[in-house]
Amino acid sequence: MTLTATPTPGATLLTPADHALILIDFQSQMSFATQSIDATNLRNNAALISRAAKGFGVPTILTTVAEKSFSGPMYEEITSAFPGQALIDRTSMNTWEDAKVIQQVNAIGKRRLVFAGLWTSVCIVGPTLSALDQGFEVYVIADACGDVSAEAHGRAMDRMVQAGVRPMTALQYMLELQRDWARTETYELTTGIAKQYGGAYGLGITYAKTMFGAHEG
């Protein structure tokens, strides 16, 4: 049987309209013990995905644990991307067991959910496996998560992937939302975020534009 290729995207690729982003426990106390990723890289990646989600209009849930009594405020890199948005504070380590969070999930009404936060082995494993059990498609932005050791993060990612979670990275998330440089309405948004938070890729964009007037697409 001969297959016929067509110029259409794969069904598992994300679009801005088909998912919600859930950002969990990006807080000071959780960060102090995080060893699997450098704090600067973690904050940078959290900023990148937050600004991408905001710019592309992805519905986003921001949730903390024991914000006032123990864990401290959510990263400013995230809250500044969503000015005025209320944070849902919890007592449960598993976000999926919090009724207020689930109320928001149901109000948004997306069957695809993308997660990022601290720590991978607790506060990300819990809701992702719970969401999978209830029929949701689940993605995790691996380099916008962290844990108390590289081993803890790695085994948590293994466990989630084995259960059916789809892993990705922060830059991949943003570029998957853009996906075609002919989409001029979000071109400046995407390259602007990349220049600020995209590391060496962002430097490359700045260099090419400055030296040669280069333009993707």
- How far CA 188 is from CA of 65, 68, 83, 181, 206, in Å, comes to 35, 37, 21, 10, 12
Token pair 């999930």: residue: 105
CB 51 within 8 A of CB 197: yes
Residue 214, pLDDT score: 65
Paired residues of 145 in beta bridges? 117
Residue 106, pLDDT score: 98
Question: Alpha-carbon dihedral of residues 94, 127, 44, 209, nearest 10 degrees?
Answer: -160
CB 61 within 8 A of CB 88: yes
Residue 212, pLDDT score: 74
Residues with catalytic function: 123
pLDDT digits (tens, 9 = 90+) for 4-55: 999 999 999 999 999 999 999 999 999 999 999 999 999 999 999 999 999 9
pLDDT digits (tens, 9 = 90+) for 181-215: 999 999 999 999 999 999 888 888 887 777 776 66
Residue 209, pLDDT score: 75
User: Cα 127–60–12 angle (5° rounding)?
Assistant: 70
Share of the chain above pLDDT 90, in %: 88
CB 71 within 8 A of CB 25: yes
Token pair 């102090």: residue: 32
Cα distance between the two ends of the chain: 35
Q: 112-118 and 137-146 as β-strands: parallel, antiparallel, unpaired?
A: parallel
Q: Report all structural domains of the chain as residue ranges with CATH numbers, in order of start.
A: 19-179 (3.40.50.850), 181-217 (no CATH)
Across the chain, mean pLDDT equals: 95
- Sheet containing 60-65, strands listed edge to edge, beginning at the edge strand earlier in sequence: 88-90, 60-65, 19-24, 112-118, 137-146, 166-168
User: Among 58, 51, 59, 56, which residue's Cα sits nearest to residue 78?
Assistant: 51
What is the separation of C-alpha 106 from the centre of its chain, rounded to a whole number of angstroms?
19
